Amino acid sequence: MKVDEIVKAIDGEILTLPAIDVDVDRAFAADLMSDILVFAQPKMLMITGLTNPQTIRTAEMSDMPVILFVRGKRPSETLLEMAEEIGIGILVSPYTMYETCGLLYQAGMPGMGKLPIVQQN
Amino acid sequence: MTQQFSLFARMGKDLPTSVLHELTFELKVLRVMTPEPYTLSSQHLMDDVKTIMRERRFSGIPIVDDGELVGIVSVQDLMRAFEEQALDAPVKRYMTSKEHLITAMVDEPVFEALKRLEQTRVGRLLVLDGDHRLVGMLTKGDIMVGLLRALEEAFNKEEEQRRQQQPRRFFESLVSDETSLLMRYRVRVNDFASGGKASAQIKQALLQMGAAPQLARRVAIATYEAEINLIIHTTDGGYLVAEIRPERITVVAHDTGPGIPNVELARRAGYSTASPLAREMGFGAGMGLVNIDRCTDELNIWTAVGVGTRVEMVFIVTEDGVKAGK
């Protein structure tokens, strides 16, 4: 799914464009960067409510081309400049995490599929 | 002009013909033409033509009336007006009119346009869009510059590919019994704002040296987790040291305390002792060491309470960057 299709599906806004014209092939939503780092893949869209520099770093480390911030949270200018410099696209959704994910899923964006259930402490 | 063309033809002898062949066919007129040319109307006087040609060093000016292309006036037309001492005549009388214009379409291959320039021996083609509106002018000079630019792009692309395919090339020019590159970073405790900077720089270095993207990503993710651990868990921060060798990359994160009381437990998924601040930054899910383990080919942890911790992460360099054992 292209960036403009994503934005259209959630009635969102593009804050910075990714350096490459990427065709996102799945999405992952979390506020825990460690969780994102476990599943991150190139061409994966990151959906998060966390607007701090670590979101950009997490995307940079794992080659995630686009970050979508939910609940109308517009990140700081410093953060946008950082994203622009690295070449990461930043989008913002006026919907909550739940609804943003729902709208994108409805528009045909796949996730990680079924995962094994593992015992946590 | 023909000289430029033959220069190009000679250049072609040293290049794989496939590249040149592809370029002249694939490159469209749109990409090499001079867009939005200067125009005059048919009501202007030949005297205006003289002024514009002299000031702007044009040798041909398209004539447009009400947005519609109606002709072109060239230096030859101006010379005729001179001979007839009729510089006060309207452009209309001397211009080459619509039905005799030599044109090219924006989406035509450059090859076709070049052939037309050769065959008709005109100095320039008027470039039209699908609605037959004038959108540009095309000379052999434009084609020359455009092709050279496209050649350079193609060359750079090939260089890039070659670089990507040879992850070990950087080290080939350096001779020693054992060559490695050492990168050392100081990581400060609770410095969330710079968290990830060191990992990003190590990743950049690896990519510049031609490491496969997947290898660079594995190293970056594991190093980033270790960097965040230094920020979150240490008493006084610590150091990240990356040693890059042609066949393996070792990243060591070491600190001076507090040390991990139970490494077994720390390596288990979901176990965390992170502070509320760390959790606010999106960490403390208890996945750090688990994730590092997943990304590395070898993970060694030495720790002693009150002394410090040393986490050693080893990555074997493979052609495609995938974990060696897999």
DSSP B246-304: SSEEEEEEEE-S---S-HHHHTSTT-----HHHHHTT--SS-HHHHHHHH-SEEEEEEE
Instruction: Tell me if A119 is assigned to some domain.
Output: no
> Inter-chain contact A57–B224, Cβ cutoff 8 Å?
yes
Domain of residue A92, CATH code: 3.40.1390.20
Q: Considering CB atoms only, which of A32, A33, A63 is closest to B213?
A: A63
Q: What is the pLDDT of residue B229?
A: 92
Mean pLDDT of chain B: 86
Size (chain B), residues: 326
> Inter-chain contact B221–A61, Cβ cutoff 8 Å?
yes
Q: Considering CB atoms only, which of B192, B200, B282 is closest to A32?
A: B282
The shortest C-alpha distance from B21 to chain A (Å) reads: 27
Instruction: Tell me if A117 is assigned to some domain.
Output: no
State the complex-level ipTM: 0.87
The owner of tokens 């065709």 is A23
Quick check: B274 and B289 in contact, CB under 8 A? no
The shortest C-alpha distance from A90 to chain B (Å) reads: 18
> Inter-chain contact B196–A62, Cβ cutoff 8 Å?
no
Q: Which residues of chain A have pLDDT under 50?
A: none
The domain defined by B170-316 folds into Heat Shock Protein 90 (3.30.565)
Instruction: Tell me if A113 is assigned to some domain.
Output: no
B130 touches chain A (CB under 8 A): no
What is the distance between the alpha carbons of residues B175 and B178, in angstroms, rounded to a whole number? 8
User: If residue B137 lies in a helix (H) or strand (E), which one and from where to where?
Assistant: strand B134-139
Q: What is the pLDDT of residue B281?
A: 82
Quick check: B123 and B143 in contact, CB under 8 A? no
pLDDT per position as a tens digit, B194-243:
999 999 999 999 988 888 899 999 999 999 999 999 999 999 999 999 99
> Inter-chain contact B282–A42, Cβ cutoff 8 Å?
no
User: If residue B314 lies in a helix (H) or strand (E), which one and from where to where?
Assistant: strand B308-316
The shortest C-alpha distance from A34 to chain B (Å) reads: 6
The owner of tokens 């040390």 is B259
Q: What is the pLDDT of residue B164?
A: 63
Helices (H), A11-119: 33-39, 53-61, 77-86, 97-106
User: If residue B218 lies in a helix (H) or strand (E), which one and from where to where?
Assistant: helix B213-233
The domain defined by B2-160 folds into CBS-domain (3.10.580)
Quick check: B309 and B303 in contact, CB under 8 A? yes
B5 touches chain A (CB under 8 A): no
Instruction: Tell me if A64 is assigned to some domain.
Output: yes
Report which of residues B174 and B133 the model is more confident about. B133
Residue of B nearest to A62 (CA): B217
Residue of A nearest to B290 (CA): A38
Q: How many domains does chain A have?
A: 1
Quick check: B61 and B49 in contact, CB under 8 A? yes
A66 touches chain B (CB under 8 A): no
Contacts of B307 (CB under 8 A, 6+ apart): B256, B257, B259
Instruction: Tell me if A120 is assigned to some domain.
Output: no
Q: Which residues of B176-198 are buried (b: 16+ CB within 10 A; e: fewer)?
A: eeeeebeeebebeeeebeebbbb
Measured CA distances, B126 to B81, B116, B146 (Å): 23, 12, 17
* Range(s) of the domain holding residue A78: 3-41+59-106
> Inter-chain contact A52–B220, Cβ cutoff 8 Å?
no
pLDDT at B6 > cutoff 60: no
Instruction: Tell me if A49 is assigned to some domain.
Output: no
pLDDT per position as a tens digit, B68-91:
899 999 999 999 999 999 999 999
pLDDT per position as a tens digit, B101-140:
899 999 999 989 988 998 988 888 999 998 889 999 999 8
Measured CA distances, B315 to A20, B117, B118 (Å): 28, 58, 59
Instruction: Tell me if A87 is assigned to some domain.
Output: yes
CB pairs under 8 A between A and B: 85
> Inter-chain contact B217–A42, Cβ cutoff 8 Å?
yes
Quick check: A94 and A10 in contact, CB under 8 A? yes
Where are the domains positioned within chain B?
Answer: 2-160, 170-316
B196 touches chain A (CB under 8 A): yes
Confidence of residue B148 (pLDDT cuts 50, 70, 90): confident
B192 touches chain A (CB under 8 A): yes
